[in-house]
Structure 1
């Protein structure tokens, strides 16, 4: 792992996606990760996979593959204990309203009674997981943190080749390198906006906005006709800011190759495209909302835990968050039926798109014993294909042929869900390098730059075009530092 990238990513509060949130101690929490102190279970309950002195050569273990596992039949003779290191501390909480880890493990043990699963959930997962990898103390299964693709085989077992795995699971190429797949997502998410339907209706917004201009107009209507905060930024939480990066690729371009193939070679990717599409259009929505007084009065005092109840009871109009946030807002009060989910307001050539991607991907420790590797792969396949976990958590199912989508995705009828294509061979880590050298950390936990948009918009000390020009200059400098060919 390159030291520069390790430091850059490790100091980010969270990863993007994607797909993270903060755990709560409230009655109906349904969160994804927390920013509290790290768990100490790992050192107390180290599994066989934690001892790197017992390295196992899995290159000859050809029978171990995701495709070949038949649940309930394969590896039923194994008796072992495996550790699953993850970020879902909420699934360990007594007041959690959904299925807990203990429930899932109990169901798994009905099929595999001799494979014990210890859950090690960490409150500072995004940072701690990287450190665990370096120490070798990362259990048998873990949610893969942000590592170089070239390093995947150093830490994880292959589930199978890309062609095979594409027929088994969604998002197979996301954690693949040199033709092998090293991570299987435990669920997928879509990128959109969680909103209060009653607030929009009271404001007179009867048709959901499909362009940035329409969205700003809707926020203005909420301000003019209701007492709700039109758009709640969640600035103070920090990690919530990186969610904005998730909309600049497929959602804003309709192009599945944009993020991993074109962005790194783009000349001034943050420049105005002139048609309300692309990264410029996405970030400008935030700037215009803040500059227009359409967000909270004091962005420094936003409250992540409190905002859930606030949107549930109609004090907030909407928040830009992935679909993972929807169930949390529904369960945060007595007005769950008022919570809706809509696509981000960008239209490309008359059509709307919504980026869809994996939440954390599950990797299996290369240094675990052979039995533990087999047991771990069995548990991963059971969790993704038999447990109903993705459906229960309002996620997109992972099985390649599983179309049992939760109710909230009906909001995307007529909107095409698009997933990012992988990088070109030989360029798998180029985006990471440009991110690190530019300090922008696009789609890699880059919450600071988005916070700065809010700060400049509120202080009126820098125009949006000046911000984007600065980003373009940093991007160009990073491209030059890495000898990247720039497409004019």
Structure 2
């Protein structure tokens, strides 16, 4: 229900309620807030250092709350921020179930000053978040500016940027006798078997029980599996039977089949219902897990989870297209600023977001790809692999994928962990073939195209 809520209910009735609500911040409307400064490009760090405001920030990075985190914590970021802006008081709240709970916050109408933008329709962005600047201006300031662009305005700034691969323990791979990283699905399954045969490590850890972690598999079906920057946002919605086997070990079919085959061949944990998201970090660090399919955002967390950070590596997803490997690169969660708070709060939020992007070093610290145009540092690189950044949806089709997700209930790249968990369940029990699962998905997709009047061109 939540997945459909924003596209159906909030777009209408909730807009009225939200317009009358303030966010959770202590600032009041002030005529001193300069209108021309309420843009991202108009916000200059080092100015307005005497601005007074209380703002709230809601996000998903619960690990940064812990004093035991070996990277930079929220407490440390805020201390550094307040050296520059001592009168902007920032209260940060984090949530392990962020994707769903963020939607609930929006639904309430009383939500934080700054949020990581959840899965809302782009046409609804202005109901909740302020337009930060024009797309042309934002392209001069940040990479991936198109991520939350609608009708020429940008509503979100990526907190960091990631690529899609596999986090693995290099020592385990070496002990298993793996000398070259896998480049095809068959190579990868064979390597998992080597880990099982030659080490005591769990070859592939599914993270089934956490739920949200399973949705990560959707992120691999775009550029990394096709080499096509237009596939994810322009072609997928128009593709007939996108989950069919193309016969060349590429595309969505072969991404999801890796998971099915690994579980079916008992190359994962003994009991998928007992996986532990927080515990797995220390387990892979200590060599009890061979690898996990997660975005590059997970790489620094696994490095910091024990004394063996040097053993943690990050490799491309094992799909090769015409002899070449690709990896999708794009924005992680993006900062959005509440459109219904005071101008003073908006100005303070703009300062905070720009400080986090340009000055804090957050993206670099988290082993991300560069977001700020003024800081191009990165510790993340794949030798011989081309990064693919998805092109935005065609004009007038910005909400097509959300509509398809809602109608089909497959929720591609939209918290669709239920369908991925079902793959694990059926593969473990052996009660349904992978081809049959994909046939069912294709039927749902085709029906959703018909229901939404979306032409299947490809």
TM-score (norm 1): 0.86
Give, in angstroms, the shift of residue 77 of structure 1: 4.4
Alignment partner of 1:317 is 2:316: no
Q: Tell me, what secondary structure is at the counterpart of 1:289?
A: helix
Among candidates 181, 185, 192, match of residue 208 of structure 1: 181
- What is the rounded CA distance, in whole Å, between the counterparts of 2:403 and 2:312 in structure 1? 39
SS in 1 for 2:293: strand
* 2:324 alignment partner, SS class: coil
Q: Which residue of 2 aligns with 1:383?
A: 356
CA distance in 2, matches of 1:100, 1:395: 16
Do 1:291 and 1:457's aligned partners in 2 also have CA atoms closer than 8 Å? Answer: yes
Query: Residue 462 of structure 1 corresponds to which residue in structure 2?
Result: 432
Greater displacement, 102-111 / 196-205: 102-111
- How many aligned positions are there? 445
Q: 1:72: which partner in 2? A: 46
Aligned equivalents of 1:481, 1:91: Cα separation in 2: 43
Cα distance in 2, alignment partners of residues 249 and 46 from structure 1: 37
Matches within 5 A, 1:71-220: 71-73=45-47, 75-220=48-193
CA RMSD of aligned residues (A): 2.4
Alignment of 1:46-445 (within 5 A): 46-48=24-26, 61-73=35-47, 75-406=48-379, 409-410=380-381, 412-445=382-415
Structure-2 residue corresponding to 1:6: 5
CA contact (8 A) 2:37 2:43 kept: no
Give the Å deviation of 1:149: 0.4
CA deviations 1:369-422 (Å, max 9, x no partner) are 11111111111111001011111222222113532102xx23x12211222111
* Aligned residues of 1:55 and 1:368 also touching (Cα < 8 A): no
Deviation at 1:334, TM superposition (A): 2.4
Q: Is the 8 A contact 2:7 2:120 kept in 1?
A: no
Q: Is the 8 A contact 1:287 1:457 kept in 2?
A: yes
Q: Secondary structure at the match of 1:235?
A: coil
Distance of 2:77 and 2:344 partners within structure 1: 21
Question: Residue by residue, what CA displacement relative to the aligned partner does 1:404-445 show, whole Å, maximum 9, x if unpaired?
Answer: 102xx23x1221122211111111111011111111111101
2:167–2:315: 8 Å Cα contact kept in structure 1? yes
Partner of 2:16: none
Instruction: Tell me, in whole angstroms, the C-alpha distance in 2 between the residues paired with 1:84 and 1:309.
Output: 28
In 1, distance between residues paired with 2:357 and 2:58? Answer: 16
Question: Which one is further off, 158-167 or 468-477?
Answer: 158-167
Q: Contact 2:6–2:120 at 8 Å: present in 1 too?
A: no
Q: Work out whether residues 236 and 300 of structure 1, in 8 Å CA contact, stay in contact via their aligned partners in 2.
A: yes
**TM-score, normalised relative to structure 2:** 0.92
Q: Give the drift of 1:275.
A: 0.7
In 1, are the aligned partners of 2:158 and 2:331 still within 8 Å (CA)?
A: yes
Kept after mapping to 2: 8 A contact 1:260/1:431: yes
Q: Secondary structure at the match of 1:236?
A: coil
Q: 1:244 to 1:104 in 2, by over 3 A?
A: same
